[in-house]
Amino acid sequence: MKQAEVIKFLKKKGTRKNASGMARFGIRPKTKVYGVSVTTLRLLAKTIGKDTRLAKQLYQSKVHECRLLASIIADARELNGKEMDVWARDFDSWDICDLTCMNVFRYHPLALQKCLAWSREEREYYKRASFALMAALASDKKNKISNEEFEKFFPLLVKNANDERNYVKKAVSWALRQIGKRNESLRQEAMAVAASIIKLNTPSARFIGGDALRELRSKGQIK
């Protein structure tokens, strides 16, 4: 399938109602929005299959749904580190950030490295990508990432806990909670980190620490 065919299909499937619904959920990207559901994008992706060449073309477009589709059909093994940076730098909404981290970036050999690097970025969604990727890695029980690797993220979570920007603080909380859900040892450590974050006594820190503790105090969260 060619890029022009994809765009023509998405234009046909998009609706103003869906676009308005996306906006109500805080999805207001700078790119063009057709109003196509993620369900429709996933069905289209099944017909296309993995096609990283097409994904790269779609990501360069100024269409939000094209970029979402790109995250589904891209093969992580066919992206290099610079391309990951370019994609992450262009994130302009929470959904494209989170879906790209979940669908592609968490399978990349450089995923752990990018978590560390992107946490130092200043742009809201670029920084969010660091913590969304941490959460994505922690939620994937099939990977063989050690507790020690996840423990390296704790100082970064504490360091960024005072960031009052909505989509950063929510991602920091998400990452802390997901790491804590990975196993009992990390749960105990994550709760201790959450308690230390609360002591920072800023609005964002109290939100992040309290959010994590409420969820992690139940052992049933570990699956």
pLDDT at position 128, please?
A: 98
pLDDT at position 172, please?
A: 98
Fold of the CATH domain 98-223:
Leucine-rich Repeat Variant (1.25.10)
Q: What DSSP letter does each residue of 95-124 carry, written as one string?
A: HHHHHHHHHTGGGSTTHHHHHHHHTT--SH
Distance CA 29, CA 151 (A): 33
Output the pTM of the full model.
0.94
Looking at residue 90, the DSSP 8-state letter turns out to be T
pLDDT at position 214, please?
A: 95
Distance CA 174, CA 115 (A): 14
Domain ranges of the chain: 1-74, 98-223
Distance CA 11, CA 5 (A): 10
Q: What is the mean pLDDT of each run of 10 residues along the chain (223 residues)?
A: 94 94 92 95 97 96 95 97 97 97 97 97 97 98 95 98 97 98 97 98 97 88 64
pLDDT at position 219, please?
A: 65
Distance CA 2, CA 15 (A): 22
